[in-house]
Amino acid sequence: MDPLIRSKVLMVVKIPRKLIKWWKMFSSLEQHELMQKLGTLTSLLDIAPRPDLVEAMLTYWDPQNLIFRFGECEMTPTLVEMSGLTRLSYIGKDMILLRDHSRTRFLSDLGLKDNKHLKCLEQSWISLDYLFARFGPQDSFDVFWDEFTTKAKWQRRRLEAFSLALLGLLGFPLDERHISTRLQSVVMVLFHEKQRKTVTVVPIILAELYRALSEARGGVRYFEGSNLLLQLWMMEHLHTASLLCPIDRALRDRVVCIEHRMKSPKFTYLVGVTAWIEFLGLRTNGNVLWAYLWLPLDDILVGCLMQPFLMLIGLKCVRPYTPVRVMRQLGRRQEEPPTLNLRRHIINFSKKAADEIKYVQYWNNAKRMKKTILVEDVGSPECTQEYLISLQSIPPGVSTPLPAQLRGRAVQTDDFEEASDQDPWDKLELIKSQLAGLTANVEQHGQYLFRVGLQDAGAHARAFIASIGVSLQGMLQSLSMTDSPGPSRSG
């Protein structure tokens, strides 16, 4: 990879060739059937990943409120945007509840006999090589005939196996290109003719994006959400209305459309994390496209009857969804949002969410907002004076460096409070990492101030000074929770 766009956060940086080869092995009818079930997720095979953009975005992510704060702009991926990008509907449909699959159950669902030697299934993952070898080539049944129950089942499961691989590698990726077997729950429902019409995978996509953003922001090395969808989401908000043409808006496959537009000579893009950080930090109300012009916004979900937010259930997490804070992205006037403490609603689990039934009830009683309050110009909607005043009470969004030392995958826990109960030495290491990041950030912004004019430098400095205060306050808070560890761990 080009060193200018190399990211220290691991993510999908190259589409696996074997997955592309597998896709090309299907007939046009089979590809059409896959697109009916997976929407434009199949078009992610043609995407050029931009890890530099995604890492720059991570430095602006607020994990407490699940929102990006670019300068004076608050934005976050929404259900309707993910639905529009993937062409997968979500309103009036049930959330899919994922479960772990035993080795025998997982293999049986794919028409395979039990295999005690597949130790990876005990850790709930399978490899692309394993699936491709058995379901990719037309003669794969003849090669592995003794592993299958019948040829008829092998034939029926070929599309399902590919869907599992695509979802596991591009939609919900794991480190080392492992494919989560929990996704088998999604695949089985999508290929069940009756159930497919009543369920949606969109909430899972968004919940896992929120989880990946917060974990990477906190120092987890691998981004376990779809960084491809995230970069498409961001780029579409950066293409202001004046740059778009009617033909562009009319194209059905938004993934292909955005990717082709990014390769057009009409558009030039930054290269490198630092360049993107500076660019995103200068976003204002006037230089972003708030609501996608091609997106149907007549009917949206904005919370539930019990509370002003929904709870989205992902693969192994629950995340609150608060569109009331980004109503301009939904083509509505932005009013001052209610003050919400989302921390206790941010939950990770190992097998299933403790209050799963309650979250499903929230979803089934979702509050819908009709088109009667759509603004005339959805690309540049209004906001109230009260909202602007409330926004001024918050320090402007400024890039905060990621921890200098990134760690492995986060430990799953059913209790969010227990996860935050760290060893004092770990907290000191975190503070050291924060100080190192702050030092690098000061140096980076100092260089930027020398390159810009006096007016821009003044505005940037005011925002940056406020961010330094926030960073130092966070370090002081960490210190206040840290007991004196003494000269040694054992002492």
Closest CA to 236 of 278, 292, 188, 183: 292
In this prediction, residue 487 carries a pLDDT of 40
**Greater pLDDT, 436 or 27:** 27
Q: Is residue 462 a part of any domain in this protein? A: no
Distance between CA atoms of 65 and 67, rounded to whole angstroms?
6
pLDDT digits (tens, 9 = 90+) for 424-460: 555 565 566 556 656 655 665 666 667 666 766 665 5
Do the beta carbons of residue 67 and residue 75 sit within 8 Å? yes
Query: Which region, left, alpha or beta, applies to residue 370 given φ > 0 means left and ψ of -120 to 50 means alpha?
Result: beta
In-domain check, residue 224: yes
Same domain, 295 and 399: yes
Mean pLDDT over each residue of the chain, to the nearest integer: 83
Q: Is residue 159 part of a domain?
A: yes
3-state secondary structure the chain: CCCCCCCCCECCCCCCHHHHHHHHHCCHHHHHHHHHHHHHHHHHHHCCCCHHHHHHHHCCEECCCCEEEEECEEECCCHHHHHHHHCCCCCCCEECCCCCCCHHHHHHHCCECCCCCCHHHHHCEECHHHHHHHHCCCCHHHHCHHHECCHHHHHHHHHHHHHHHHHHHHHCCCHHHCEEHHHHHHHHHHCCCCHHHCEECHHHHHHHHHHHHHHHHCCECECCCCHHHHHHHHHHHHCCHHHCCHHHHHCCCHHHHHHHHHCCCCCCCCCCHHHHHHHHHCCCCCCCCCCCCCCCCCCEEEEECCCCCEEEECCCEEEEECHHHCHHHHCCCECCCCCCCCHHHCEECCCCCCCHHHHHHHHHCEEEECHHHCCCCCCCCCECHHHHHHHHCCCCECCCCCCCCCECCCCCCCCHHHHCCCCHHHHHHHHHHHHHHHHHHHHHHHHHHHHCCHHHHHHHHHHHHHHHHHHHHHHHHHHHCCCCCCCCCCC
311 forms beta bridges with 320
Per-residue model confidence (pLDDT) at position 418: 35
pLDDT band at 398 (very low <50, low <70, confident <90, very high): confident
- Say yes or no: 434 and 383 in one domain: no
127 pLDDT more than 70 = yes
Question: Which has more pLDDT, 432 or 356?
Answer: 356
Least confident piece of the model among 35-49, 253-267, 310-324, 376-390: 253-267
305-322 burial: b if 16+ Cβ within 10 Å, else e? eeebbbbbbbbbbbbbbb
Residues 202 and 262 in one domain: yes
Closest Cα to residue 74, out of 369, 395, 452? 395
Highest-pLDDT range among 133-147, 229-243, 336-350, 415-429: 133-147
| C-alpha to C-alpha distance for 292 and 237, rounded to whole angstroms | 7
Q: Say whether both 207 and 73 belong to one domain.
A: yes
In a domain, 441, yes or no: yes
Looking at the structure, tell me whether residues 357 and 445 fall in a common domain: no
At residue 384, the pLDDT reads 87
For residue 262, the model assigns a pLDDT of 74
Residue 408 pLDDT > 50, yes or no? Answer: yes
| pLDDT score of 45 more than 70 | yes
pLDDT band at 27 (very low <50, low <70, confident <90, very high): very high
The yes-or-no verdict on residue 369 having pLDDT over 80 is yes
Nearest to 187 by CA among 111, 79, 130, 82: 111
**Are 341 and 388 contained in the same domain?**
yes
pLDDT band at 394 (very low <50, low <70, confident <90, very high): confident
pLDDT band of residue 158 (cuts 50, 70, 90) is very high
Structure-derived torsion over alpha carbons of residues 275, 278, 282, 288, reported in degrees to the nearest 10: 40
What confidence tier does 239 reach under pLDDT thresholds 50, 70, 90?
A: confident
Quick check: is 490 in a domain? Answer: no
Task: Inform me whether the pLDDT recorded for 54 exceeds 70.
Answer: yes
Better-predicted residue by pLDDT, 275 or 475: 275
**Identity at 305, one-letter amino acid code:** L
Give residues with Cβ within 8 angstroms of 204, minimum separation 6: 95, 96, 98, 172, 186, 312, 313, 314, 315
Residue 210 lies in a domain: yes
Radius of gyration (C-alpha) of the chain in whole angstroms: 23
C-beta neighbour count of 269 within 10 angstroms: 14
Distance between CA 272 and CA 51 in Å, rounded?
A: 9
Do 298 and 433 fall into the same domain?
A: no
Whether the model clears a pTM of 0.75, i.e. scores above it, the answer is yes
Q: How many domains does the chain fold into? A: 2
Cβ contact 324:309 at 8 Å: yes
- Integer Cα distance of 217 and 210 in angstroms: 11
Is 198 domain-assigned? yes
| 82 and 44 Cβ atoms separated by less than 8 Å | no
pLDDT at residue number 392: 76
Candidates 214, 234, 207, 209; CA nearest to 65 is 214
Poorest-confidence range of 36-50, 170-184, 188-202, 411-425? 411-425
Q: For residue 414, what pLDDT is reported?
A: 41
Token reading at 406:
């990134």
Q: Stretch 306-323: mean pLDDT, rounded? A: 92
**Residue 449 near residue 409 (C-beta atoms within 8 A):** no
Residues 329 and 446 placed together within one structural domain of the fold: no
Query: What are the tokens at 169?
Result: 């590698």
Same domain, 330 and 445: no
**Same domain membership, residue 430 and residue 383:** no
pLDDT grade, residue 18 (50/70/90)?
very high
Q: Is residue 488 part of a domain?
A: no
Which domain, by its residues, includes 445?
424-457
Residues 231 and 310 in one domain: yes
Lowest-pLDDT range of 244-248, 329-333, 403-407: 244-248
Residues 401 and 448 in one domain: no
Q: Give the lowest-confidence range in 134-138, 256-260, 455-459.
A: 455-459
User: What is the edge-to-edge ordering of all strands in the sheet holding 347-348?
Assistant: 310-313, 317-321, 347-348
